[in-house]
Amino acid sequence: MSLFRARPSSITSSMDDGAGADIADEDLHPNVAILLGGTVAVALVSALSLPWPIAIASTLLGALMIAGADVDARVFLLPDIVTLGAAASGIIAAYALAPIDPLWSVADAALQAAATAAVVGLVRWAYERWRGCEGLGFGDVKLAAAAGAWLPLEAIPLCFALATGAALVAIIVARLRGQPIGATMKLPFGAFLCPALWLIFYVTVLSGT
């Protein structure tokens, strides 16, 4: 299935935008085989290379990101259970994995989550004012909060750079295959940001162990 579609006026990237009224509930659930297979793979990689508390956190994040990427790739929606769940679990993980001062780690994760969401929200607002159409959905803003909660500050730009680079590669490949790519086409950015978030988290904690 192609990642590119003409932009439907009733669908955006977040479930609370009033969008998705024409999408069946089952479409908002991840494919069970993809979720289970991906989670098992993430769990094995994490268990074999990370200390067990971090491996559990990595597996949880990986499962959420697999679910988010699968749903967004199919229906261009990021469910709140994925975005807000990832943001909340990132703050909880900051407390559970803090080596010295868990309360400070929680405050830092919450502040980074809010700041990252604010920056992406500002980009969303500026693009809409400039082009007169939505470039990012609220789901992407919430997913940005999750990135802020899970990643160290210096890794957040790398996460977005990786996701953006992967999206650009997908556009180039689609163009080479003859797909019509234009201003009316829609790209599920969450399908790229979700795996980028887990990968950057994994590499970050792996390099620190």
Give me the number of domains the chain comprises: 1
pLDDT tens readout for residues 169-191:
998 888 888 776 665 567 899 99
Residue 14 has a pLDDT of: 42
Residue 99 has a pLDDT of: 83
Q: How far from 165 is each of 84, 108, 158, 159, 176, CA to CA, in Å?
A: 25, 28, 10, 10, 17
| Secondary structure E strands in the chain | 5-6, 185-186
Residue 16 has a pLDDT of: 43
Residue 113 has a pLDDT of: 98
Strands 5-6 and 185-186: antiparallel
Range of the domain at 62: 5-208
Low-confidence ranges of the chain (pLDDT < 50): 1-2, 4-21
Residue 177 has a pLDDT of: 82
CA atoms within 13 A on the CB side of 119: 13
